[in-house]
Chain A
Amino acid sequence: MSFSLRVNGRDHRVDVDDDTPLLWVLRDNLGLTGTKFGCGIAACGACTVHVDGVATRSCVTPAASVSGAEITTIEGLSADRSHKLQRAWIAEDVPQCGYCQSGMIMAAAALLAETPAPGDSEIDDAITNICRCGTYNRVRRAIKRAAEA
């Protein structure tokens, strides 16, 4: 089916089967490869994007179901790595392999939008993404740094 998708402030027309997850429309149809595939079952969070500002796991979200919503991916978080979380991530040198980091940052951005100064338990609850390199403590520090920025 054909439908429109608004991603990072731009409208796109896509023609895919209606069960196609948003993740694969972003990656294969729109070429926005910053959003990653990790599990396909919403368990790891590598595919996290914002749908109307809400952190959403795009691997289980049919693209057709978010037609009309405002979708933001890591590429749309800022044009120049100037988002306070991106600056904090660089300051704390968070990433190792980096594969989960787009999803981590998007999950953190949704958290800060809702809770500008999160405590540890709020960070624990919001950041359920998997990182196999174990960057979790730096993720926590970077979120706190950004909250104070």
Chain B
Amino acid sequence: MRNVMTVGRRQFLQTGAAAAGGLVIGFHLPAHRRGARAAAAEAVVNAWLRIAPDDTVTILVAHSEMGQGVYTSLPMIVAEELEADWSKVRAEMAPADPEYRNRMFGVQATGGSTSVRSSFDHLRQAGATAREMLRQAAAERWGVPVAECHASGGRVVHGPKGWQATYGALAEAAARLAPPAEVALKKPAQWTLIGKPTPRLDTPAKVDGSAVFGVDVKLDGLLVGTVMACPVFGGRLRTVDQAPALAVKGVRAVVPLDDAVVVVADGYWPALKGLRALAPEWDEGANAAMSSASIRAEFMAALDGPAAVAAAAGDDAALAGAAKQVEAVYEVPFLAHATMEPMNATAHVTADGVEIWAPTQGQGPIQFAVGAALGLEPGQVKVHTTFLGGGFGRRFETDFALQAVLAAKAVGAPVKLIWSREEDIRHDFYRPAAVARLRGGLDAGGRPVAWQARLVCPSIMTRALPDYVKDGIDPSSVEGAAEMPYRIANRRTEYAMKHTGVPVGFWRSVGNSQNAFFVESFLDEIAHAAGADPLDFRLRLLDEAPRHRAVLEAAAETAGWGSPPPPGRFRGLALHESFGSIVAEVVEISVGDGKALSVHKVACAVDCGVVVNPDTVVAQMESGIVYGLTAALFGEITLRDGRVEQGNFDGYEMLRLAQMPEIAVRIVDSGAAIGGIGEPSTPPIAPAVANAIFAATGERVRSLPLVRHGFAAA
């Protein structure tokens, strides 16, 4: 992979400079607008920013904007060091290029709540370097020592003489200078932008319909396609009679693929009508008899079969010797991502390669996958990233882009391939279903002395990133269970990898999404067995984990844990660390007639280290909570005859505004290293709600979703 990623910074910068602001970025621009851009004579100061004569600073964003706020937070980091005038800053999606790789992944991709933490250092460096070049350009213009030139608010000022020049006036000269080898970065105490609530740069375009998502891409001569893959995972297309689709007005072509059929038309509606008219014959393959029941039976059997040890400490015999033992089996279902924008991509195959416009989290992966399929170098696969109508891990995959490319190649015209919602739900890379058996031992004083967990689920990494799997352990399967902040002397976490025919992938918070439910629910069980308050019980086990303790105390204080809830209301809590951040959530619920479950309030505390945009941290905590609460209440993908039974929002329910809890978010300032925020608030919500249900009803919910236990969201 390294060899094909060698299109270096120098080569890119030359290309960029030659294009003089005409870098074709983000989405299709009509030719006249490209011309207008070149005429504006923006100076390409470095790979991360351009400055126009009117002082507009355009900062390139290498990570995909899927709601998590990188379109604002990443430019804030550059602008801080640049000493830019924030009101003049514009964001723009970066093209696919090794320069814009995720420093934690080595390829350009957005995921794992890494955008800010993987970019923080080099974006500060980029801003500071440009600032120094602007100061140098001013010093040379004025014939004064650079030390006398001060950068602030988008201009350079000469202190002694009071001369001033805006960045727009200096940019062209600055861009011609050699970048300094070393620059001094500002100290946190000097930050004026980082840490201040800052309105999102993408909000205006998202309130008037002008933001361009993948489905909105427009190109000359663009056709629209839609697709149906074999309904059974792993099946192939045997044959399809194309005539019924071709008889539909507006249909241009039927494109058979190995495992799917695409209909291409003048618009989405004729394409869909054409697709619905087809009756493809499938070779359903090995998974045609698979069902939720058959998968569950295999998982349950694996609770007593072979397993790999993910983590162990102390003595296994401590469990048998404990004064009191508790054991429980937990399970969670497969989950679809259900991004609001269904999967889609636009492709145009040219003589030189292929251009792709896509709402993608995986620019690098698309370059490799499409390159491999078409026999092209990754650099010949140009990827333009649009806004993403949600990602949540689904758009890390490349399947939809590859289909668009194959359809475009077959018809010899650019094709925008849009999946129906049914296709989106039925051909996801799902959050794995999982089963866990937990065992805990308490001593005579009610202190936990033993903890054993056996996890059973499919491995994501075996397919997606096989190098990460070692000795039978997929770290994404055991994350959030192998490591716990709680001090329990004798611990063992095992993992039995069980593959099914169901594709599995990265679903917001990945393994943490199920493991937090297992760990935090079972911890509540042993707290109850010990006769202890769930908060006190946890705090006693966190005496060596001060950050976790502070976060849990902050959430409890916000929720008023110390005083009883109003009559009829009950509380539950959970704490979980993931992606470098620690989140605690306390929920307040009531359960009415017919098990009508109302989640009234969520008090959330987060320690994510350095905070770039506090309002975005708050928004992401809210977002992750709703995502996890939706899954806890309703989320379940089931299989019969090798097929997913759900297909749309009528069968795969979503939380609505009327069911929304109040959410209060408190950011705990620890001064720790920067952590992620896109995912860490999702894991604690399911166990917090389940623990509250136990407090309210005495019913211990050990499987999800809650509707399966007769609860109805109120």
A positions within 8 Å CB-CB of B: 16-17, 19-21, 24, 27-29, 31-41, 43-44, 46, 73-75, 77-78, 81, 86, 89-90, 93-102, 105, 123-125, 127-140
Give the distance in Å from the alpha carbon of A52 to the alpha carbon of B466 in the complex: 56
Out of A81, A97, A124, A137, name the residue touching B662 (CB < 8 Å).
A137
Q: Which residues of A contact B341 (CB under 8 A)?
A: 36, 38, 97, 99
Q: Collect the chain A residues with CB atoms within 8 Å of residue B387's CB.
A: 97-99
In the bound assembly, the distance between CA atoms of A34 and B209 in angstroms comes to 4
- CB of B266 closer than 8 Å to a CB of A: yes
A39 contacts across to B, CB distance below 8 A? 421, 648-649
Closest 5 CB pairs of A and B: A34-B209, A134-B626, A99-B389, A97-B67, A98-B206
Q: Specify the chain A residue showing the minimal Cβ separation from B215.
A: A37
> Chain A's nearest CB lies how many Å from the CB of B31?
17
Q: Which residue of A has the minimal Cβ distance to B424?
A: A39
C-alpha gap A28/B273 in the complex (Å):
15
**Which residue of A32, A98, A124 contacts B202 across the interface (Cβ within 8 Å)?**
A98
CB-contact partner of B200 in A38, A93, A105, A128, under 8 A = A93
- A124 to B235 Cα, complex, angstroms: 43
Q: Is the CB of A86 within 8 A of B623?
A: no
Instruction: Using CB atoms, name the residue of chain B closest to A124.
Output: B658
A96 touches B421 (CB 8 A): no
One of B207, B250, B657 near A124 (C-beta < 8 A): B657
Q: Are B224 and A28 in contact (CB under 8 A)?
A: yes
- CB distance A38 to B204 under 8 Å? no
- Interface presence of B388 (CB below 8 A): yes
Question: What is the CB-to-nearest-CB distance from A82 to chain B, in angstroms, rounded to a whole number?
Answer: 10
Q: Which residues of B contact A90 (CB under 8 A)?
A: 199, 203-204, 207
For B65, give the chain A residue with the smallest CB separation: A97
- Highest count of chain B CB atoms <10 Å: which of A27, A86, A98, A128: A98
- A33 neighbours in B (Cβ, 8 Å): 209, 212, 215-216, 218
Assuming the contacts A21-B269, A98-B67, A132-B340, asked whether A43 and B213 have C-beta atoms less than 8 A apart, the reply is no
Q: Which of B180-236 contact A (CB under 8 A)?
A: 199-200, 202-213, 215-216, 218, 224
Q: Are B421 and A101 in contact (CB under 8 A)?
A: no
Interface string of B299-342 (1 = CB under 8 A from A): 00000000000000000000000000000000000000011111
A32 to B218, CA, bound (A): 11
Q: Report yes or no: B269 in contact with A130, Cβ–Cβ below 8 A.
A: no
B203 touching A134, Cβ below 8 Å: no
The answer to whether A96 touches B420 (Cβ under 8 A) is: no
Would you give 30 A-B contacts (Cβ < 8 Å), ordered by A?
Answer: A17-B269, A17-B273, A21-B269, A28-B267, A29-B267, A31-B218, A33-B209, A36-B215, A38-B342, A38-B421, A41-B649, A44-B340, A86-B208, A89-B207, A93-B199, A94-B203, A95-B200, A96-B619, A97-B66, A97-B67, A98-B211, A99-B390, A100-B340, A101-B206, A127-B657, A130-B654, A133-B340, A133-B390, A134-B626, A137-B622
In the complex formed, the residue of A with least CB distance to B420 is A40
Nearest CB of chain A from residue B200's CB, rounded to whole Å:
5
- Taking a contact as CB atoms closer than 8 A, the residue among B211, B625, B648 that contacts A41 in the complex is B648
Minimal Cβ-Cβ distance residue in B for A123: B657
Evaluate contact between B654 and A132: CB separation under 8 angstroms.
yes
Q: Return chain B residues, CB-CB under 8 Å to A100.
A: 340, 389
Contact B656 A128 (CB under 8 A): yes
Complex contact A132–B392 (CB within 8 A): yes
Contact call A28/B266, Cβ cutoff below 8 A: yes
Chain B: interface residue count, which band? 35 or more
B69 within 8 A of A: yes
Please determine whether A105 and B421 come into contact, CB atoms closer than 8 angstroms. Answer: no
Nearest opposing residue in chain B for A80, CB measure: B208
Interface flags for B384-425 (1: CB within 8 Å of A; 0: not) read 000111111000000000000000000000000010110000
Q: How many A-B residue pairs have CB under 8 A?
A: 187
The smallest C-beta distance from B315 to any residue of chain A, in angstroms, reads 44
- Bound-complex Cα distance A98 to B207 (A): 8
Please measure, in the bound complex, the distance between the C-alpha atom of A37 and the C-alpha atom of B655, giving whole angstroms: 19
Residues of B within 8 A of A44 (CB): 340, 649, 654
In the assembled complex, which residues on chain A have CB atoms less than 8 Å from the CB atom of B391?
A: 97
Whether B622 lies near A97 (C-beta < 8 A) is no
A139 to B392, CA, bound (A): 21
Contact B215 A134 (CB under 8 A): no
Partner of A128, one of B203, B266, B657, B663: B657
Q: How far is the CA of A94 from the CA of B650 in the complex (A)?
A: 26
Given contacts A100-B340, A123-B657, 20 further A-B contacts (CB under 8 A): A16-B267, A19-B273, A33-B212, A36-B340, A38-B341, A39-B648, A41-B421, A43-B649, A90-B203, A96-B67, A98-B206, A124-B657, A129-B657, A130-B340, A130-B656, A134-B655, A135-B623, A136-B655, A137-B662, A140-B657
Closest to A44 in B: B649
- Residue ID in chain A nearest B660 by CB atoms: A136
Chain B residue numbers with a CB within 8 Å of A97 are 65-67, 339-341, 387-391
B619: chain A residues at CB < 8 Å are 93, 96, 135, 138
> A44 vs B424: C-alpha distance in the bound complex, in angstroms?
14
Please state if B649 and A133 are interface contacts (CB–CB under 8 Å): no
Contact B339 A132 (CB under 8 A): yes
Interfacial chain B residues near A32, Cβ < 8 Å:
209
Q: Residues of A contacting B66 with CB < 8 Å?
A: 97
Interface presence of B441 (CB below 8 A): no
Quick check: is B579 within 8 A (CB to CB) of the other chain? no
**Alpha-carbon distance between A124 and B392 when the two chains are bound, in angstroms:** 26
Cβ of A29: which chain B residues have Cβ within 8 Å of it?
Answer: 267
| CB < 8 Å neighbour of A131 from B69, B212, B213, B340 | B340
Q: Is the pair B389, A98 in contact by a Cβ cutoff of 8 Å?
A: yes
Chain A residues contacting B654 (CB-CB under 8 Å) are 44, 130, 132
Quick one: CB contact mask for B461-481 with A, threshold 8 Å, 1 for yes?
000000000000000000000
**Residues of A contacting B418 with CB < 8 Å?**
37
The yes or no answer to B168 lying at the interface (CB within 8 A) is no
- In the assembled complex, the CB of A12 is this many whole angstroms from the nearest CB of chain B, namely 15
Given contacts A75-B208, A97-B387, A98-B202, contact A125 B658 (CB under 8 A): yes
Which positions 601-637 of chain B face chain A at CB distance < 8 Å? 615, 619, 622-627, 630
Per the bound structure, the CA–CA distance linking A25 and B25 in Å amounts to 28
Closest to A130 in B: B654
Chain A residues near B67 (CB-CB < 8 A): 95-98, 133
Q: Which residue of B lies closest to A106 (CB)?
A: B209
Cα distance A87–B205 when bound, in Å? Answer: 12
Contact present for A43 and B340 (CB under 8 Å): no
A105 and B207 form a contact (CB under 8 A): yes
Does B249 sit at the interface, judged by CB under 8 A?
yes
Known interface pairs A33-B216, A44-B340, A133-B390; A96-B209 also in contact (CB < 8 Å): no
A36 to B650, CA, bound (A): 18
With a cutoff of 8 Å between Cβ atoms, the chain A residues found around residue B250 in the complex are 17
A95 B207 Cβ-Cβ under 8 A? yes
B270 at interface, CB cutoff 8 A? yes
Report yes or no: B342 in contact with A37, Cβ–Cβ below 8 A: yes
